[in-house]
Amino acid sequence: MSILSAENIKAYYKLLDSDVKAVEDVTFSLKTGEILGIAGESGCGKSTLAATLSTVILPPLKLIDGRLITEDGKNIFELKEITLRRKIRGKYLALIPQSAMNALNPTKKIKDLVIDAVKAHYPKMPKEEILKNSMKQFAELGLPSRVLESYSFELSGGMKQRSIIAISSLLNPKVLVADEPTAALDVSTQQAVLNLLVSLKEKGIVQSIIFITHDIAVLRQIADRIMLMYAGMIVEVGDTEDVIFKPLHPYTQGLISTVIVPEPDIKEKVLTGIPGAPPDLKNPPPGCRFHPRCNFAMPKCEKEVPSLFSKSGRIVRCWLYD
């Protein structure tokens, strides 16, 4: 069953003279109890998609088209701001924005932030009760209770990120959208953060997680399915192992082949990379947005945008699989 389904989402940055087509025609469904990984390079629309999904659509970003359907069939984009604030944000859908740990207010203790966050949803709940609940939640997630009494600058990077994750999951949201939660962390702290996310799901605090990253090797560790984006569009969706070991789309093949890991056979491998650079989204190339860099480009690719084709349980946007 799907807990969240996105249908044809289009979100553009409105500029004076043109639009930056950052998210174009994104359709996917998130199942209950799964971790969906969204991967892609910088500028492919991952973070714009995260902002759109969590309904934090601030100018110049504008939602052009699309529906976001909840479990009980409501379209989130049609709800009023006040309902969004009361019922959706933080409760149904919570976002951990990129580099959120750097945004912790250094003059406030973590417990004050917790109280603020909960009071926004339950204005009448007494402080003691909020603190008691949060202490329980923090303990369950393996965070020491001294964290609540600390200022943000007293915590290490990994600790800050884990506190942020704990705070965003306080109200037991059904869907957690994590935008690059492990960027700028060392590998051992990264592991701790990934552990935390998995345990959030396993303990039933959140139901499903959308994990956004540029690091495919991280997705291999935690994601059940991977969705790859290129230049604002979905190029491939499939089970993690299928996508990594049998990539279909030429872009996925290129991207997987550039993953460098410390394993004996990587030294013999000739890494080729992908020639060229991602397109300018103000003026994306016609047809398939990847065709200028693609080795398999056909005349058709320059003219028509491929639709999402289904191939043995996977979805791929490429004319090769028509």
User: Interface mask (CB under 8 A) for another protein, residues 69-108, using x and -?
Assistant: ----------------------------------------
Contacts for 115 with CB less than 8 Å, ≥ 6 apart: 127, 130, 131
> What's CA 213's distance to the chain center, in Å?
7
Contacts made by residues 236-240, CB under 8 angstroms, sequence distance 24+: 236/314, 236/315, 236/316, 236/317, 237/28, 237/314, 237/315, 237/316, 238/313, 238/314, 238/315, 238/316, 239/313, 239/314, 240/37
Instruction: Look at the block and give the residue holding tokens 């007494």.
Output: 126
- Residue 85 tokens read as 């604030």
Near another protein by CB under 8 A: residue from 34, 112, 154, 215: 215
Which lies closer to another protein via its Cβ, residue 129 or residue 280? Answer: 280
Which structure tokens are listed for 133?
A: 């609940």
H or E stretch covering 38: strand 35-39
Residue 195 touching another protein (CB under 8 A): yes
Judged by beta carbon, residue 5 or residue 189, the one nearer another protein is 189
Residue window 34-73: x/- pattern of binding to another protein, with contact defined by CB under 8 A:
-------xx-------------------------------
Stretch that binds another protein, among 10-18, 123-131, 197-205, 297-305 (CB under 8 A): 197-205
Of the ranges 11-19, 65-73, 168-176, 182-190, which one interacts with another protein (CB under 8 A)? 182-190
Choose the binding region for another protein from 53-61, 64-72, 167-175, 180-188 (rule: CB under 8 A): 180-188
Residue 251: closest CA among 316, 201, 175: 316
Q: Which letter does DSSP use for residue 278 in this model? A: P
> Is there binding between residue 294 and another protein (CB under 8 A)?
no
- Report which of 115, 112, 100, 106 is spatially closest to residue 151, judged by C-alpha positions: 106
Q: Given the rule CB under 8 A, which of 13-21, 64-72, 262-270, 281-289 is the region that contacts another protein?
A: 262-270
Based on its alpha-carbon atoms, the radius of gyration of the chain, rounded to whole angstroms, reads 21
The DSSP 8-state label assigned to residue 66 in this structure reads: E
Instruction: Out of 266, 296, 298, 300, name the contact with another protein by CB under 8 A.
Output: 266
How would you classify the pairing of strands 225-230 and 233-239? antiparallel
Per CB under 8 A, does 18 bind another protein?
no
Our finding on whether 238 is near another protein (CB under 8 A) is no
How is residue 285 written in tokens? 């190339």
Stretch that binds another protein, among 11-19, 23-31, 84-92, 214-222 (CB under 8 A): 214-222
CA 265 to chain centre: 31
Amino acid identity of 210? Answer: I
- Which listed range, 16-24, 103-111, 263-271, 281-289, lies at the site for another protein (CB under 8 A)? 263-271
**Consecutive H or E run containing 195:** helix 187-202
Pick the closer one to another protein by CB: 84 or 192. 192
Kindly state whether residue 298 participates in binding another protein, applying the rule CB under 8 A: no
Say whether residue 144 binds another protein (CB under 8 A): no
Name the residues that contact another protein, by CB under 8 A. Answer: 41-42, 142, 157, 186-188, 190-192, 194-196, 198-199, 202, 214-218, 220-222, 244, 254-256, 258-264, 266-267, 271-274, 277-278
